[in-house]
Amino acid sequence: MPELPEVEVVRAGLAPAVTGATVAGVEVVDARALKRHVPLAGDDGLGGHGVSLTAEAGVPRIADFERRLTGALLGAPARRGKFLWIPLSPDEALLAHLGMSGQMLLRSHDAADDRHMRVRLWIEHPDHGELRLDFADQRLFGSLALDGLVPTADGFAAGRGTDLAVLPGQAAHIARDPLDPAFDDAGFIAGLRRRGVAVKSAILDQTLISGVGNIYADEALWRARLHPEAKANAVSARKAAELLTHLREVFAKALAEGGTSFDAQYVNTNGQAGYFAHSLNAYGRGGAPCPRCGTAIRRIPFAGRSSHFCPRCQRRR
DNA sequence: CATATTTCCTGCCTGC
DNA sequence: TGCAGGCAGGAAATAT
């Protein structure tokens, strides 16, 4: 459920508290929250290289994560699409993906445990004192990892919150998001129109455009009056440009309202919900009248989830 | 190569 | 009241 606006709310909330802070302690409560963490190959005592990675069974994933993170100095949090990272050094970062229910919560040392708390960092900030940064995740689709930083393909700054042209290796294949000043509009339009899949599938593909999930895909398609199952390669260049504009507008509006919260799963770093759910026109509104024409919004199965659209405003061609 | 399907996971909600 | 089943969803892995 966290898509670009929700992850950006989290990034902005973390920035003042973590930038310049030191990690005083790390506690991994549930190793499943480290799904993406690849432990460094241990010192084999033979003076080995130390750069090779392994995910072989037997490597103490939790211990590796805790050991490498403890004592680290945290840089400014950065984001591309739904991927969030906090640099630890010029070549390493703490990478976070919230999945559907991940939360990054800033708490005082003596605050009660949040439900589904999986990983805890005790941090010390020179100006703000001691805090806990708790990663909570009900459905465990999210994860934390330590990952190497690699150069961006285009040489521009990697994403929101950073001026550096490096990003975690695990996020290197992700396209820029539409709020990124270095986003390639023409490349997106051409790429979209080259695909034989449904237009909704295309905008959910994070290698074409990042940050879009089911909610904002439905909202942008509603705004652009495009049927979710229309073939991407049948969308005109003009319409594709319009769709991009609508994605930017809906992201900006949702961001201004603190993101979309349907249940207790999406919250900011203080555990508070956003307000954009009240502004949705299509998503989650099956059977309700289209705000534009009054026709009942239709809900249809789509790739194991649902699409919501107006059958009158959004024709298949 | 491009596209489609499966997998991971918990908790809420519905229907019997 | 209990319990099975459906649903929610991002992205990597696997299959076609």
C-alpha A77/C-alpha A129 separation (Å) is: 18
Known catalytic residue: A82?
yes
Distance A59 CA to C12 C1' (A): 21
Nearest to A123 by CA among A165, A172, A74, A75: A74
Nucleotides of C under 7 A from a protein CB: 7-12
pLDDT at A57: 39
Nucleotides of B under 7 A from a protein CB: 2-12
Distance A279 CA to C12 C1' (A): 32
Identify, with chain letter, the residue nearest to nucleotide B8 (CA–C1'). Answer: A141
Do A231 and A196 form a contact (C-beta atoms < 8 A)?
yes
Phi-psi region of A119 (alpha: psi -120 to 50; beta: other; left: phi over 0): beta
What architecture is the A185-309 domain classified under in CATH?
A: Orthogonal Bundle (1.10)
Q: Tokens standing for A72?
A: 């680290």
Identify, with chain letter, the residue nearest to nucleotide C10 (CA–C1'). Answer: A99
Class of A4-171 per CATH?
Answer: alpha beta
Residues 221-280 of A with CB under 7 A from strand B: 263
The closest nt to A99, taking CA to C1', is C10
Known catalytic residue: A3?
yes
pLDDT at A1: 66
pLDDT at A261: 75
Do A118 and A105 form a contact (C-beta atoms < 8 A)?
no
Known catalytic residue: A298?
no
Which residue out of A2, A87, A178, A228 is catalytically annotated?
A2
Q: Tokens standing for A264?
A: 């207790």
Do A154 and A163 form a contact (C-beta atoms < 8 A)?
no
Residues of chain A with CATH 3.20.190.10: 4-171
Residue A117 phi/psi, 5° resolution? -65, 125
The closest nt to A30, taking CA to C1', is B9
Residues 282-311 of A with CB under 7 A from strand B: 303-304
> What is the length of chain A?
317
Which amino acid belongs to residue A278? H
pLDDT at A276: 81
Do A77 and A14 form a contact (C-beta atoms < 8 A)?
yes
For residue A261, count CB atoms less than 10 angstroms from its CB and return exposed for 0-12, middle for 13-18, buried for 19 or more. buried
Determine the Cα angle at A206 with ends A288 and A193, to 5°: 80
- Does residue A36 reach within 7 angstroms of strand B, measured from its CB? no
Distance A312 CA to C9 C1' (A): 27
Distance A304 CA to B16 C1' (A): 25
In tens digits, chain A (317 residues) has pLDDT values of 689 999 999 999 999 999 999 999 999 999 999 999 988 875 332 233 333 333 343 357 999 999 999 999 999 999 999 999 999 999 999 999 999 899 999 999 999 988 899 999 999 999 999 999 999 999 999 999 999 999 999 999 999 999 999 999 999 999 999 999 999 999 999 999 999 999 999 999 999 999 999 999 999 999 999 999 999 999 999 999 999 999 999 999 999 987 877 766 777 888 888 888 888 999 999 999 999 999 999 999 888 889 999 999 999 87
The closest nt to A218, taking CA to C1', is C9
Distance A25 CA to C6 C1' (A): 41
The closest nt to A140, taking CA to C1', is B9
Residues of chain A with CATH 1.10.8.50: 185-309
Kindly report the pTM of this predicted structure: 0.93
